[in-house]
């Protein structure tokens, strides 16, 4: 227990860690250094955590949920204007996992993926979508960048090290909105196959309908439910690569059993597309600390991943070095 009687992050054995973002931005030096430690422990031990007191206004999040719902409830003809093509198309709408046509009988969701940084892209309808999304992604990006600074410190670096090395000022940020329709409307089960995300950290906000699960010691553990007004934060592939395997990319999936529609606002946050990402040179040497991953340009990784996914493979398998 902390001095005021509140439970601290790691007292509850084997439950997803909870990190208080406000301690990172406005805590005392001691509080900040403790929360940096907690972030490091969460990234290493769990590969994910819940983020509370993040400062993104709840009203903005609610409006984003409403406008996203309006988007997906447009007619198919209207949505076809934004149909998915290449992985780097600025706006793409589709179904299934990335470009794969998953079996509709077992897994189903619709998605809209927008590249929102370095340039902001958004469908021109519904009318207030663009304004809301632009505000939302600026705020979530600020949270993500602050978290990366904390992660950088937790690895023993100065807080700006990862930002600089990975050219995060020109970083690639997506807003992926997932829509799992209500079971009363469509008689199908909804979800998303087990996968890891590209980038450094994914921020995910759900509309109160649970479904996200992470793999922990061979078992799927529900994430999100029970902690109100929180982001789920998930380690992604390039964090594992850059940390040379210390902070593993987290396998997750979605299984929606609740009859209500589920909407998630998901922000993968990556380096700039032209950054060649490999293990940090500060974490490897030619002797005891060998690199475990081959360097690869982030853009190539994304393109390669999309091609491989149809064959059920993962780009990670191409760059992982077996020691
Ligand atoms: O919508 C969810 O529950 C998970 C989404 C996700 O993992 C993704 O979009 O990569
Ligand atoms: Fe994901």
Per-position pLDDT tens, the chain of length 323: 344 444 444 434 469 999 999 999 999 999 999 999 999 999 999 999 999 999 999 999 999 999 999 999 999 889 989 988 888 999 999 886 433 344 444 567 899 999 999 999 999 999 999 999 999 999 999 999 999 999 999 999 999 999 999 999 999 999 999 999 887 655 566 788 888 999 999 999 999 999 999 999 999 999 987 799 999 999 999 999 999 999 999 999 998 888 899 999 999 999 999 999 999 999 999 888 999 999 999 999 999 887 787 677 788 888 999 87
Please check whether residue 77 lies inside any domain of the structure: yes
Virtual CA dihedral for 39, 166, 145, 45, nearest 10 degrees?
A: -20
Please check whether residue 290 lies inside any domain of the structure: yes
ipTM greater than 0.95: yes
Residue of 168, 187, 191 lying closest to 178 (CA atoms):
191
Domain that holds residue 66: 10-319
Distance, CA of 239 to CA of 48 (rounded, Å): 12
Please check whether residue 5 lies inside any domain of the structure: no
Please check whether residue 1 lies inside any domain of the structure: no
Please check whether residue 269 lies inside any domain of the structure: yes
Please check whether residue 46 lies inside any domain of the structure: yes
- Which CATH number does the domain housing residue 290 bear? 2.60.120.330
**Number of structural domains found in the chain:** 1
Residue of 251, 174, 235 lying closest to 200 (CA atoms):
235
Q: Which residue's alpha carbon is at the smallest distance from atom 10 of ligand 1?
A: 197
- Burial track 194-217 (b if 16+ CB lie within 10 A, e otherwise): ebbbbbbbbbbbbbebbbbbbebe
Residue 36 CB contacts under 8 Å (≥ 6 apart), including other chains = 24, 150, 153, 154
| 59 Cα–ligand 1 center, Å | 22
Please check whether residue 2 lies inside any domain of the structure: no
Distance, CA of 213 to CA of 228 (rounded, Å): 17
| 251 Cα–ligand 1 center, Å | 11
Tokens 């406000």: give the residue.
Answer: 22
Which residues have any ligand 1 atom within 6 Å of their CB? 176, 178, 192, 197, 211-212, 252, 254, 264, 266
Burial, 240: exposed, middle or buried (Cβ in 10 Å; 0-12, 13-18, 19+)? Answer: buried
Burial, 268: exposed, middle or buried (Cβ in 10 Å; 0-12, 13-18, 19+)? Answer: buried
H helices within 91-128, ranges in order?
none
Please check whether residue 227 lies inside any domain of the structure: yes
User: Phi then psi for 224, rounded to 5 degrees?
Assistant: 110, -55
Give every strand in the sheet of 201-206, ordered side by side.
18-20, 48-52, 231-235, 201-206, 262-269, 173-180, 110-117, 91-95
| 267 Cα–ligand 1 center, Å | 9
246 to 33, 154, 229, 312: CA distances (angstroms): 19, 11, 29, 25
Residue of 98, 111, 178, 197 to mutate, ligand 1, most atoms within 8 A of C-beta: 178
């Amino acid at each position: 227990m902390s001095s005021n009687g509140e439970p601290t992050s790691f007292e509850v054995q084997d439950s997803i860690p909870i990190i208080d973002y406000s301690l990172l931005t406005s805590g005392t030096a001691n509080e900040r250094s403790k929360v940096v430690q907690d972030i490091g422990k969460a990234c290493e031990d769990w590969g994910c955590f819940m983020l509370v007191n993040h400062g993104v206004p709840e009203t903005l999040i609610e409006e984003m949920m409403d406008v996203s719902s309006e988007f997906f409830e447009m007619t198919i003809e209207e949505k076809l204007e934004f149909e998915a093509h290449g992985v780097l198309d600025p706006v793409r709408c589709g179904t299934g996992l990335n470009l794969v046509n998953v079996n509709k009988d077992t897994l189903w969701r619709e998605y809209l993926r927008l590249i929102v940084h370095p340039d902001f892209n958004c469908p021109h309808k519904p009318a207030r979508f663009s304004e809301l999304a632009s505000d939302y992604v600026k705020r979530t990006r600020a949270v993500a960048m602050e978290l990366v600074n904390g992660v950088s410190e937790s690895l023993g670096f100065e807080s700006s090290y990862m930002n600089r090395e990975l050219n995060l000022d020109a970083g690639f940020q997506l807003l992926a909105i997932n829509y799992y329709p209500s079971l009363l409307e469509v008689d199908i089960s909804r979800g998303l196959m087990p996968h890891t995300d590209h980038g450094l950290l994914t921020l995910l906000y759900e509309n109160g309908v649970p479904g996200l699960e992470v793999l922990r010691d061979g078992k799927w553990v529900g994430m999100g439910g029970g902690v109100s007004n929180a982001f789920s934060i998930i380690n992604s592939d390039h964090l594992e690569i850059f940390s040379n395997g210390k902070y593993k990319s987290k396998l997750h999936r979605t299984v929606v059993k609740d009859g209500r529609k589920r909407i998630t606002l998901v922000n993968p946050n990556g380096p700039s597309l032209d950054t060649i990402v490999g293990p940090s040179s500060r974490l490897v040497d030619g002797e005891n600390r060998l690199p475990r991953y081959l360097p690869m340009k982030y853009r190539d990784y994304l393109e390669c991943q999309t091609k491989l996914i149809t064959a059920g493979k993962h780009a990670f398998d191409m760059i992982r070095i077996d020691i």
